[in-house]
């Protein structure tokens, strides 16, 4: 029992260190975003001036708008396509299925710089103008694999007898998919959509290589601002992004909780 007690304390201590290294930098950013000092790591009193500066910075707001447009569009497209790809690979056998299943993981494992450079060269080859549209296409190509992997994980534990029961009751293939399969897959689809939006919203490498004039996203704008010196305004921007991410996760959890309650009824 004594050895077990020491083991438990060691495990708790290890977990504490892990959480500390994960969240301490985030906590520092949030705390110093309210500092009155111009130094991003020095505290000299509480203020909201850096948040006011951010919300009055036309360039930053335009970059934020571009990131939201890119993130939402890329998430919508990649979630639909990735979900259908995962469903098709799981349910159907067709020529090239094994090859498609293998290359599905390629965008996940290759370095971002290779993906970004490949897209830039491809756009130049087909003479596609660079802008928000080119960034969205690049992010969709990148996000589809992540969505498909998450949805396929959800499909692994799917009980197909529920689909068979729906078909025995007279539902056709489309009705079965929309009323039975998709609602049961929704937790995985929502999780995949959140992951796709996060990856797209915070992406720097692909956006940097595929952006054109007037299509600067928030990560690119922040990187450009850091070249002239880090200010607490960057901390304020990071805190706003963090708050938005936390709000999205909580909203998704509440939505999925309501759907589970309705399904139980």
Q: What is the pLDDT of residue 122?
A: 92
The CATH classification of domain 58-264, taken from the options 3.40.50.880, 3.40.225.10, 1.10.3720.10, 1.20.1260.10: 1.10.3720.10
Q: What is the pLDDT of residue 57?
A: 85
pTM above 0.85, yes or no: no
139-162 per-position pLDDT tens digit? 999 899 999 988 888 887 777 788
Q: How confident is the model at residue 23 (pLDDT cuts 50, 70, 90)?
A: confident
Q: How confident is the model at residue 1 (pLDDT cuts 50, 70, 90)?
A: very low
Q: What is the pLDDT of residue 157?
A: 74
Does the structure show a pLDDT above 60 at 250?
Answer: yes
Burial 50-77 (b: 16+ CB within 10 A, else e): bbeebeebeebebbbebbeebbebbbeb
Provide the residue ranges of all domains of the chain, joining segments of one domain with +: 58-264
More confidently predicted of 255 and 7: 7
Does the structure show a pLDDT above 80 at 201?
Answer: yes
């Amino acid at each position: 029992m004594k050895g077990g007690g020491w083991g438990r304390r060691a495990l708790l201590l290890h977990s504490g260190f892990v959480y500390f290294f994960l969240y301490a930098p985030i906590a520092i950013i949030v705390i110093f975003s309210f500092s009155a000092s111009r130094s991003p790591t020095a505290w000299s009193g509480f203020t909201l001036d850096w948040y006011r500066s951010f919300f009055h910075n036309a360039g930053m707001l335009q970059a934020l708008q571009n990131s939201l447009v890119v993130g939402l569009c890329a998430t919508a497209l990649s979630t639909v396509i990735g979900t259908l790809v995962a469903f098709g690979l799981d349910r159907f056998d067709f020529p090239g299925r094994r090859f498609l299943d293998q290359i599905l993981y390629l965008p996940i494992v290759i370095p971002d710089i290779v993906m970004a450079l490949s897209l830039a060269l491809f756009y130049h080859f087909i003479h596609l103008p660079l802008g928000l549209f080119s960034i969205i296409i690049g992010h969709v190509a990148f996000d589809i694999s992540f969505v498909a992997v998450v949805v396929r994980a959800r499909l692994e534990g799917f009980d197909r007898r529920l689909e068979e029961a729906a078909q025995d009751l007279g539902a056709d293939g489309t009705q079965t998919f929309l009323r039975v399969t998709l609602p049961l897959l929704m937790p995985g689809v929502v999780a995949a959509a959140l992951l796709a939006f996060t990856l797209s919203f915070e992406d720097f490498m692909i956006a940097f290589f595929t952006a054109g004039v007037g299509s600067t996203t928030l990560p690119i704008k922040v990187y450009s601002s850091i070249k002239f010196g880090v200010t607490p305004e960057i901390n304020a921007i990071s805190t706003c992004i963090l708050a938005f991410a936390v709000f999205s996760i909580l909203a998704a959890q509440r939505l999925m909780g309501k759907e589970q309650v309705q399904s139980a009824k």
